Amino acid sequence: MTWTIRPPWAEDQERLAEIYLSVRRETFVWVDPGKFYREDFAAHTNGETVFVCAHESGSVAGFLSLWPEDDFIHMLYISPEFHGQGAGTALLHALPEWPQHRYRLKCLVKNRRAKAFYLSHGFQVTGNGASPEGDYEELSFFPV
């Protein structure tokens, strides 16, 4: 599968907001889905660097948002029809200086699929905490 990682285009905004909304509603089943809104994408990525993953057909498969000042991966969301096809891996590999750079993120404990993905890519649990959406673990990627 061929993936293109690129900055978001203006015409991507609606699709990115839809991916963010639908995946959150599908994945975070322990949270009231009425707490998630289409407008959340723009608000939650404000000031972040967003990477878009596009399929060879041109379809937007997902995105990663990065808070560069802290090397913090805020979000990585892939539309379900592209799960397991390498889109998430392509996004990680597109991060600046990957894999020679340390990155970190927070992963909700109940989101077992995401945690397994990150652990399989070399992240390690380095802390924990609580958020309005549930308990989380901090995961860190240490350079190889």
Q: Tell me the residue ranges of DSSP E strands in the chain.
A: 3-6, 49-55, 60-67, 72-78, 103-108, 123-131, 134-141
Main-chain phi, psi angles of 47, to 5 degrees: 85, 0
Check residue 71 and report its DSSP letter.
T
Q: Angle at Cα 36 formed by Cα 125 and Cα 103, nearest 5°? A: 25
The string of pLDDT tens digits covering residues 39-96 is 999 999 999 999 999 999 999 999 999 999 999 999 999 999 999 999 999 999 999 9
Is the Cβ–Cβ distance between 141 and 121 less than 8 Å?
yes
Integer Cα distance of 6 and 143 in angstroms: 23
Residues contacting residue 63 through CB under 8 Å, at least 6 positions apart: 8, 16, 19, 20, 50, 51, 52, 53, 75, 76, 77, 91
pLDDT bucket at 4, cuts 50 / 70 / 90: very high
Is the Cβ–Cβ distance between 117 and 88 less than 8 Å?
yes
